[in-house]
Amino acid sequence: MDAYISALMGLAGIAIGSLSSFATTWMTQRSQVKERHREVEVAKREKLFSDFIKEATRLYGDALSHQKDDVSDLVLLYALVAQMRLVSSRQVVDAAELAMERIVETYLASNRCLSELRDLARSGAMNFLLDFAEACRTELATGHLSAR
């Protein structure tokens, strides 16, 4: 009888050890998959934010020296903001919309000469993406990855 109990205890120990090993491996794998997914999401957001900054900067530079009533150049910028609405926080989207408004206002204003551009740069008025960059940095640093 003692031999049976010893054998059963041995089998139970093996089963518990195997189950513990399986659970540990599964949890480690799951954690690695989640971290990889998070890294991919952060990279996508960084690309989206970078594309917005590039396009907004290009349009702002154009707006300083051109007046337009045509909104076709703003379509890509609007599309980038729409993509941000799907994945970014309210603060990022609001800051992007403010930057877009600033670009539109600049297009509607009179053209600027070089001395006016120098004065704008010195006053900090040309730094229209500051709030957007700060909101993006905060979102990426805090790991905010859920839709708003």
**Domain assignment present for 80:** yes
| pLDDT tens per residue across span 12-50 | 888 888 888 888 888 888 888 888 988 898 999 999 999
**Domain assignment present for 18:** no
**CA pair distance 148, 78, nearest whole angstrom:** 18
User: Which amino acid, residue 57?
Assistant: T
**Domain assignment present for 21:** no
**Domain assignment present for 36:** no
Q: What is the pTM of this model?
A: 0.74
**CA pair distance 17, 71, nearest whole angstrom:** 67
**Parent domain of 107:** 44-142
Task: Report how many domains make up the chain.
Answer: 1
Q: At what angle do helices 130-142 and 2-65 cross, to 10 degrees?
A: 180
CB–CB of 135/92 below 8 Å? yes
| pLDDT tens per residue across span 121-143 | 778 777 889 999 999 999 999 87
**Domain assignment present for 14:** no
